[in-house]
Every structure is written in C-alpha cells, then in structure tokens.
Structure 1
Amino acid sequence: MLLVLSEEHKEHLAFLPRVEPAVVGEFGRIALEFLRRGTNPKIYEGAAKKLSVPVEKVQHGVEGLMFLMTESSKYMLSEVDFLDSLLVLGFAEELNQILLQLYLQHHGPLRGILSQLPPHLPAYHSLEWRLDVQLASRSLRQQVVPMLMMHLLLTEAGEGRTSRLFQTDPGTLLHLIAALEGALAAMRTSHARRILRNLK
C-alpha cells in the first residue's frame, strides 16, 4: 500500500530538503513530542530563529513530517512501501533514508500514541422508532410490506446533537441484525483476538 499525499502536504514536506539531515532528525523528535504532549509555538519560534526562516515554514515542515509518520504508522507500511510513497516527493536518496530511519525508529511509539487517541466518532444518545403499515388499498393488489421508521439521535463532540432518519423493511432489518451478530461472534474468536493483540 502507498500513501497518497495531497498537494498541501507535498508543499509542507518540500521544506525538508533545504535543511541539514540533523535538523530533519530533530523535526522528527519534535513531531513525536507534539503528538504526546501537544504543540508548543515557542519551539517553532526557536527553530525558525536558528534556521533564519519564517515560523510558518518550520511549523508546516514539522506538521508535514508528523502527518507522514502517523499515516505510515497507522497503515503499518513496510520499508519498501514507505520508500515508494516518498518517490513522488523527489527527495534525494540520503533524505529518504533519514526519513525511513525516523519511521522505523518511531513506528512503535507512534502506534501506541495513536491507539490512545480517542476516536472522533458520534456517540449514541437515543433511538425512536415507528412501524408504518398500510392496512388496505384499492389500488394495490399485491401484499403490503410494513416499513420501520427510525429516528437516531447522536451526540458529537463540540457540535451538540445530530439526528439521522432511517427507513427499512423488516426483512432488511433482520438481515442487518444477523450480520451484526455475526460480526460480534467473529470478534470473540481466537483469530480476531490474535489480530487485535498485534495491532496494539
């Protein structure tokens, strides 16, 4: 698998060839520290003064490197896939090897940090449902299928509550329930537990 980098990320990473290899290693250390403890603007300012470049350049370089390392760790890229992902950036071989060493060195800690981050998924709040059945109709000769209407309320971090409306027939709902129960049963197997253990 290869990473697909947006033009914005390519621009941010384009700063790396302009600095010394030791600075790239320091940027990698700063990126990992920021993932653990949050960003610190003073570090950007100090690095910008030393390199005689604008603060935004340093910030974008560190954030671009942080994105590259976290995405590579998230998808558990192999060495070959990581290097192939860097080809689109057009970096020199020496810089590619430095970035590879950073990735290999920080891969484990990054996976640990990513596993501790809370997902930004909406949480269940409540569910209201109604069964709609047409009892009779002169125009319909075939069997009337009842429909289940569901109103799902979700709580999203910082956004309050959102609602979703669903409509389904009983057959589809039964199939969905069976698929979810099958997925839960598969999670209890030893094979799934072994995979989850390796992900952590």
Structure 2
Amino acid sequence: MASVKEVFTSSFQLLAQQPDNVVKDFLKLTKHFMDKGPDTNLYNKAAEKLEIDEENIASIVKSICLMCVQSCKRKLTDVEIKESLTEYGFNEFKLEMIILFFESQKTYVQDILSSSAFVYPYFKELEWRFETDMGSRSLLHQTIPVITLRLDLEKNNFTESLFLQTNPLNLVHVKNTLEAALKQNQSQWIRKIRRKLK
C-alpha cells in the first residue's frame, strides 16, 4: 500500500501533466469536495471525460484539499506554496490558478481549523519586579538579584495569572531560547511541508 507522501507526489505529478482547463476542473471538484464531501458520480464522469482512473481523480482532489489545509495551518505565503509545487512540474499559469484557489478558500479553511482546534491560552500581559538585598552583615556571599514575573494568560475570556521567580542568568537564557525558537519557527514549518510534499 502506498504511503500518503507517495500518493500526494504521484497526484501532483499527474495534475501537472494535465492541460490548464483540466486543472481548473480539478479545482472545481476540490471546491465541491470541501463544501459537500466526496461525490463518486462526479468522479466517475470526470474519469470518463479525462480518461483517468476514478481512484486517481479522488486522490488528486484530496491532495489539493490537503495542500490547502496544510498551507493554512502552516501560514505559508504564496511564494512558499509556489516553491513547494514547482518541483512537480507545474507551469506558471497553473501555479497561479492553484494559488488563487487557495486564496479563495483560505478564510473557509481557517474558520474550520479554528473551530475544531484545541484552544490554547494566549499571552495578555507581563509585569515584572526586580528584587535584591542591598546589604546585610549576616550574608557571607554576594547577593543574587531575583526577578519576579506576573504572566497573565487568557483563555475563553478567562484570565489566569502565573507568578514566576528567576535570576537574571536564567532569564537571559529563557530570552535567548525563545528568540531562537521564533527564528526557527517559520523555516521549520517550511521544511516540514516540503518533506511531506516530496
């Protein structure tokens, strides 16, 4: 049995070989699939008209749909989507058609994804306070300042406050780790989608 990646690759390679008007028909079939679900009668008619196996028709439609969903999930730009699809042999006109289709479906797909997704708390506010002992005769070592943070998170219109304490060294480490994660975030999404497309 073929893996999802193999089906995806063969579907897009087959789609890239089709004339422009056939690609447009596949985008219409995908729109119908997204709105009403699979329709074997439509696939059967398309298979007879295009002389392509009905199973391949369904695979192409599902692959376009999957690419649309993944590009919305990963927040891919038009350029990134084009880069992902170029390796399958699409010409510029076909790529533009697919991009326009994705743009027209983006709001619809994002609404479905947001309604079905797990709701994570998101950042609302951060307050901090710097605390240290200025001096004491009983201390035999150097004092280490403490930073107290109040992090407010919001989830479903409910605010939760978390109180954290750390020293400056750990705070700098956390800051550097978060900055590195933000830099990797977008490129990691792109690498994942490219791996899935190959």
Q: Does residue 1:187 correspond to 2:146, yes or no?
A: no
Aligned sequence identity (%) = 21
Match of 1:16 in 2: 15
Tell me if the contact between 1:73 and 1:110 (Cα under 8 Å) persists in the aligned partners: yes
SS in 2 for 1:19: coil
Letter in 2 for 1:60: S
**Residues 19 and 88 (structure 1), Cα distance of their counterparts in 2 relative to 1, 3 Å cut:** closer
Query: Comparing both chains, which one has the higher relative contact order based on Cα–Cα distances under 8 Å and sequence gaps of 6 or more?
Result: 2
In structure 1, how many angstroms separate the alpha carbons of the residues matched to 2:85 and 2:111? Answer: 24
CA RMSD of aligned residues (A): 2.9
Aligned-partner residue type, residue 56 of structure 1:
E
- For 1:77, the equivalent position in structure 2 comes to 76
Contact 1:44–1:55 (8 Å) recurs in 2:
yes
Post-superposition CA distance 1:39-77 (Å, at most 9, x none): 111111011111122111211111111111111122221
In the aligned structure 1, how far is the partner of 2:58 from the partner of 2:15?
Answer: 12
1: CA distance between counterparts of 2:64 and 2:5?
A: 13
- The 3-state SS of whatever aligns with 2:52 is coil
SS at match of 2:94: helix
Aligned-partner Cα distance in 2 for 1:22–1:116: 34
- The alignment of Structure 1 onto Structure 2 pairs a total of residues equal to 124
Cα distance in 2, alignment partners of residues 23 and 41 from structure 1: 18
Listed as ranges, the gaps of 5+ residues in structure 1 are: 120-181, 193-200
Distance in 2 (alpha carbons) for counterparts of 1:17 and 1:47: 17
CA distance in 2, matches of 1:103, 1:16: 16
Does the CA contact (< 8 Å) of 1:13 and 1:64 recur in 2? yes
TM-superposed deviation, 1:189: 10
For residues 114 and 39 of structure 2, the distance between their equivalents in structure 1, rounded to whole angstroms, comes to 22
Aligned-partner Cα distance in 1 for 2:48–2:67: 25
Partner of 2:143: none
* SS of aligned partner of 1:89: coil
> Could you tell me how far 1:188 is from its partner in structure 2?
4.8
Q: Which amino acid aligns with 2:37?
A: G
- CA separation in 2, counterparts of 1:64 and 1:53? 16
**Conserved? CA contact 1:48–1:58, under 8 Å:** yes
Q: How does 1:120-199 map to 2 (within 5 A)?
A: 185-188=152-155
TM-score, L = length of structure 1: 0.53
Aligned to 1:108: 107
TM-aligned CA deviation for residue 114 of structure 1: 2.9
Contact 1:31 1:65 (C-alpha < 8 Å) held by counterparts: yes
Match of 2:185 in 1: none
Contact kept, 8 Å, 2:16 with 2:88, in 1: the verdict is no
Calculate the TM-score normalised by the size of structure 2. Answer: 0.54
Higher deviation after alignment, 14-23 or 48-57: 14-23
Deviations 1:114-149 (Å, cap 9, x if unpaired)?
334477xxxxxxxxxxxxxxxxxxxxxxxxxxxxxx
1-side partners of 2:51 and 2:65: how far apart? 22
Alignment check: 8 A CA contact 1:69 1:103 kept:
yes
